[in-house]
């Protein structure tokens, strides 16, 4: 490993001068700068980031909070996986690397971030948990963004879920449906999406003078197919007069498809269905699932921009909403 001392010796300048030349800091004769840079190149110099971090407290590392406990999808989530991937691209382009933050060894997320001297943190998927876990990040003033759920004091980039819920309900209504069920994801987690989608759903009903029927609301115990299968089963045993169901996420819709297959229900003839997320499977299932595509690329782009802004000391908004695109496929039947 070649160090700045090696370059200093070779060029005849001092280590601080080499440092300034390589970093473009301080005032330097442009000739000596050129020379140093050239020699450094020839020698194949690579800075030692640990040394730099130790003296500057800047690591060029961004901590990622991504933990799918309770979701059991690993990195296969249709929204989060894309957000992670694109955020990584953008932030690497700006010279930062991504390191995963965890809660192991009695370290909290915050302690872990300190241990690694990260320059900022992105909350993509904190699993279920307690929002107060993030208070230390807020108090510390560390640059931080969330692409998952609203936190007071954390710049959050998130889909307009309420609008999504509204559009879904409105679509059903315009296709002639009146008895529309709502299959919710668990509302006890850290994500506010289920509530927001429900709020929009109710608002549309109200606007179209359709009363919200509590009996047509059902909540899955988990964010998965199995939970949805059971929840929908409960709903269907209770009531058979509804013609449509809005699922707060595609994963839940998959449970409905499974139930329909086992129970001999025809989709969308017997029940129309709309999901949320545009999972890769949607366009493969029969009928192809009508859904919403969250703008993961835009969410990630804005997240990285907001991260960089904060690192630069610039102010950022509390919340940025991104539109989710309605994708009409084949799972909603028109009722005359």
Partner DNA sequence: CTGAAAGCGCTTACAG
Least gap, CB of 18 to DNA (angstroms): 7
Interactions with DNA, residue window 20-59 (CB under 7 A): 20, 22-23, 25-29, 31-33, 45, 47-48, 51-52, 54-56
Least gap, CB of 214 to a copy of itself (angstroms): 30
How far is residue 274 from each of residues 36, 40, 100, 199, 214, measured CA to CA in Å? 62, 59, 34, 16, 19
Binding flag, residue 54, a copy of itself (CB under 8 A): yes
Total residues at interface with DNA (CB under 7 A):
30
Contact 317, 158 (CB under 8 A): no
Interactions with DNA, residue window 50-109 (CB under 7 A): 51-52, 54-56
Interactions with a copy of itself, residue window 237-296 (CB under 8 A): 254, 257-258, 279-281, 284-286
Contacted by 240, from DNA, a copy of itself, none: CB < 5 to 8 Å by type = none
Binding flag, residue 153, DNA (CB under 7 A): no
The residues with which 320 forms a beta bridge, in sequence order, are: 157
Binding flag, residue 1, DNA (CB under 7 A): yes
Residue 239: burial class (beta carbons within 10 Å; 0-12, 13-18, 19+): middle
Binding flag, residue 81, a copy of itself (CB under 8 A): yes
Binding flag, residue 138, a copy of itself (CB under 8 A): no
CA–chain centroid gap for 145, Å, is 10
CA nearest neighbour of 315 among 134, 64, 141: 141
Contact 291, 281 (CB under 8 A): no
Binding flag, residue 28, a copy of itself (CB under 8 A): no
Place of tokens 């449970």: 255
- DSSP letter at 170 equals H
């Amino acid at each position: 490993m070649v160090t700045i001392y090696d370059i200093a010796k070779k060029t005849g300048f001092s280590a601080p001068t080499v440092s300034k030349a390589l970093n473009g800091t301080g005032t330097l004769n442009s000739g000596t700068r050129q020379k140093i840079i050239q020699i450094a190149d020839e020698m194949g110099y690579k800075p030692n980031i640990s040394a730099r971090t130790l003296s500057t407290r800047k690591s060029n590392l961004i901590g990622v909070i991504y933990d799918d406990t309770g979701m059991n999808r690993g990195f296969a989530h249709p929204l989060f996986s894309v957000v992670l991937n694109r955020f990584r691209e953008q932030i690497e382009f700006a010279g930062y690397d991504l390191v995963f933050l965890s809660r192991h060894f009695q370290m909290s997320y915050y302690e872990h971030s300190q241990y690694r001297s990260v320059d900022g943190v992105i909350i993509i998927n904190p699993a279920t948990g307690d929002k107060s876990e993030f208070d230390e990040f807020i108090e510390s003033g560390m640059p931080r963004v969330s692409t998952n759920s609203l936190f007071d004091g954390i710049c959050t980039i998130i889909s307009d879920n309420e609008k999504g819920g509204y559009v879904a309900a409105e679509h059903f209504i315009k296709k002639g449906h009146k008895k529309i069920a709502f299959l919710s994801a668990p509302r006890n987690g850290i994500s506010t999406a289920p509530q927001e989608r429900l709020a929009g759903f109710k608002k549309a009903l109200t606007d179209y003078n359709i009363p919200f029927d509590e009996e047509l609301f059902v909540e899955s115990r988990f964010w998965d197919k199995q939970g949805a299968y059971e929840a929908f089963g409960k709903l269907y045993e209770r009531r058979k007069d509804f013609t449509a169901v809005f699922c707060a996420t595609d994963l839940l819709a998959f449970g409905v498809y499974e139930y329909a297959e086992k129970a001999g229900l025809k989709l969308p003839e017997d029940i129309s269905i709309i999901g949320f997320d545009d999972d890769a499977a949607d366009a493969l299932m029969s009928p192809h699932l009508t859904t919403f595509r969250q703008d993961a690329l835009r969410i990630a782009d804005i997240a990285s921009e907001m991260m960089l802004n904060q690192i630069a000391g610039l102010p950022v908004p509390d919340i940025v909403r991104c539109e989710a695109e309605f994708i009409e496929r084949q799972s909603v039947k028109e009722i005359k």
